[in-house]
Amino acid sequence: MIRGRIIGEVWATRKHPAMAGRKLVMVEVIRAAEQEGGSGRGVPTGEVVVAIDTLDAAPGQEVLVSWGSGARNAVSPRGRGTVLADAAVSVVLAEVFEKTW
Amino acid sequence: MFLARVVGVVWSTVKWQELEGVKLLLVRPYTLDALAGRGEPTSDAVVAADCYGAGPGEDVVVAYGHAARVSLEPDLPEDARPSIPVDAAVVAIVDRFSVNPDPEESARSSHGD
């Protein structure tokens, strides 16, 4: 999973039927601080990914995005039907403790 | 998935049979700077298959892996495995998007240049 922050939303009408009704959010990737004494805020990278959001995360909130079959499980927990997802918000973060050893 | 702008089309004559009739697009992923209106997409271009008819200048959402293959086989029976030899595909053509980077992040140094 990667850590990121919700920075926006994407709307599309021309898309695969399996995407119908799915909320698409833009997430800026946050990496861990490299120096000791990280504040827990991490370092924004400017890299943006698009993920399906089933947790209704709000703009500005920090989330964890899972990839691959992990994302498909987040979108369709019982794994039934055609699932089209390679990235999904699976956790909305409350707090991150960051320490460099 | 990532948001990208279509910047070109790729033609090929020798390819796997499953790829016959599948359009290949050259797309350029957006960075946050480009999304926020501070320039054009600058990342390395990616080739993505497309069955939705996206054209140059349009914004698209591109998926990797299994999601890409599912996207290219709309008539795939439920729970069947897609077999097309593709790892990136357009899954949606974007109508609009909103970007609202946190104001407090505007002072960050990583985007100073």
The C-alpha atoms of residue B1 and residue B87 are separated, in whole angstroms, by: 12
Look at residue B104 and tell me if it is in a domain: no
- Decide if B30 is inside a domain: yes
In a domain, B105, yes or no: no
CA distance A90 to B54: 30
Task: Convert the pLDDT of each residue in B61-111 to its tens digit.
Answer: 999 998 898 888 877 777 677 788 999 999 999 999 998 876 455 434 334
As to burial, measured by CB atoms within 10 angstroms (0-12 exposed, 13-18 middle, 19+ buried), residue B3 is: buried
Q: What average pLDDT does the segment A7-14 reach?
A: 93
Cβ of residue B38 closer than 8 Å to a chain A Cβ: no
Nearest to B61 among A12, A43, A83 (CB): A12
Considering only CB atoms, B52 lies closest to which of A14, A26, A51, namely: A14
Q: What's the domain range around B60?
A: 2-98
Q: Do A60 and B100 touch (CB under 8 A)?
A: yes
- The pTM of the full predicted model, rounded to 2 decimals, is 0.83
Q: How far is CA B86 from CA A18, A75, B24, B50, B93, in A?
A: 18, 22, 10, 10, 19
**ipTM tops 0.85:** no
**Residue B76 sits in a domain of what CATH number?**
2.40.50.220
Distance CA B9, CA B55 (A): 8
Q: Which of A83, A40, A99 is nearest to B81 (CA)?
A: A83
Looking at the structure of chain B, the number of domains it has is: 1
Does the residue B88 lie in any domain? yes
| Domain annotation for chain A: domains and CATH numbers | 2-32+41-92 (2.40.50.220)
DSSP state of B30: P
